[in-house]
Chains A and B, each alone.
Chain A
Amino acid sequence: MQRALARAIAAFSSTVFLAEIERPPLESVALFPNQAQGNPQQAQPPATNPAAPSLGDLGFPPAQTQGNPEEQARLDQRSHMLKIHQRLGLVTTIPLLATVITGSFAGGKSTSSTTRDLHAALGSVTGGLYFTTAYFSIFAPRVPGTQTRGQIRLHKALAWIHGPGMILTPILGAMAFEQKSRGEKIHGAASAHGAVGYVTAAAYGLAIASVSFKF
């Protein structure tokens, strides 16, 4: 019956009339797809807004809304290595402090000194832990396009002080050790071992503080 009416009216009406006539009677269907699910917060239909916005309506470029598992894996690897870097860095402070403390007693007058040997051993342990710590930072994946901002800049800059310091300090320390073992007074470059050591330790401590506290 409805189809017969549609054909009759189509001869002198617009397509709007056709769309309305061919739609089944209003009372027999739900006007909105989700109405059958029921919305307990509403007493009357419609349960859903057919023109409700979607993410595509907002204008974000697809590259910004689509996930990137490879980038996530890179971030995971980076965070994993930097967490190890953080833990090892904290562990390294223990032998470093012990090395600095024993250094005060290492310059004794005798050619053989237990304290000097202990200081050297602790320095070696500190050096080994230090370079292992540095490895996890240097080889952690970089994220392209990231501009370094904030206190992390200070942390990275201090590495240019304690890094060379951790190379120079044991070299000067070995020179001083040899001179002392021969009964000589420490002289020349070896006499800078203590000062270089203190500066290195201070820079290291400040590097830890720069990522621990806000200033």
Chain B
Amino acid sequence: MYTKLVLPLLLFPALAQNGHAADTQWVLQQSTLTYHVSHPLHQTEGVSHAAKGKGVCHAGLCDFLIAVPVKSFDSGDSNRDLHMLQATRGAQFPMVVVRTRVPEDASKSTMVQADLEIQFAGQTAQYKQVPFQVVAQGSQIRISGTIPATISDFKIDPPSLLSIAVKNEMPVRVEMAWQGQ
């Protein structure tokens, strides 16, 4: 009786291993994030290379998390950067956090459309079907695209110069290199 019961149970670990394939992981190797803000007198861009990210693929889907310190964005003017930090509540909410989930086979495509959840300035905004270009370079995947963010999405008071406010559109250009593990 015990033999009949034990034998299937001895097979169970093997079955368990076949039912759960090993997870694939991705690590962000390099990144360039660039925000763009428009004013009639100024076109401003701030650049950060300080993002860190990780992706874990499981059962055909990959969950990605990318975070970048708000302080790391450099527009070339320290006064402007400090105002940006204040306007975006960057001391109180120091990180921009982006979450997304894409199919595992997206790395084989040249274009992927991702739904993004972005936490910034103490607010959360969703962006649907944001297109990203995917380029495979050896063991690395290079992803680039533009997130159509706006200042009002995150309830930020628009900065002004000479009593003229900046435009609401604040597109963020993303260029990333991911390494599979």
Contacts and interface: CB of A to CB of B under 8 A. Distances in A.
B21 interface: no
Nearest to B159: A79
Interface string A136-178: 0000000100111111100100000000000000000000000
Nearest to B26: A53
A24 interface: no
A62 to B, nearest CB: 11
Contacts of A67: 91-94
B56 A52 contact: yes
A68 interface: yes
Contacts of B52: 58-60
B12 interface: yes
Interface in B6-57: 6, 9-10, 12-13, 16, 23, 41-43, 52-57
A76 B23 CA distance: 45
Interface in A18-40: 20-21
A53 B86 contact: no
Nearest to A80: B86
A213 B41 contact: yes
A24 to B, nearest CB: 14
**Range, interface on chain B:** 35 or more
Given A9-B6, A72-B89, A58 B65 contact: yes
Given A46-B59, A65-B95, A68-B92, A8 B76 contact: no
Nearest to A21: B9
Contacts of B6: 8-9
Q: What are the nearest 4 A-B pairs in CB distance?
A: A150-B77, A75-B86, A72-B91, A71-B91
Interface of B: 2, 5-6, 9-10, 12-13, 16, 23, 41-43, 52-59, 61-65, 67, 69, 75-80, 82-83, 85-87, 89-95, 97, 101, 161-163
28 contacts: A5-B5, A21-B12, A49-B62, A50-B58, A53-B55, A54-B65, A55-B97, A58-B53, A58-B65, A60-B67, A64-B69, A64-B95, A65-B94, A65-B95, A67-B91, A68-B92, A69-B92, A78-B82, A149-B78, A150-B77, A152-B77, A152-B78, A152-B79, A155-B79, A212-B41, A212-B161, A213-B42, A214-B43
Interface of A: 5, 8-9, 13, 16-17, 20-21, 42, 46, 49-55, 57-60, 64-69, 71-72, 74-76, 78-79, 82, 87, 90, 143, 146-152, 155, 211-214
Given A58-B65, A66-B94, A72-B89, 5 more contacts: A53-B56, A67-B91, A75-B91, A149-B77, A214-B43
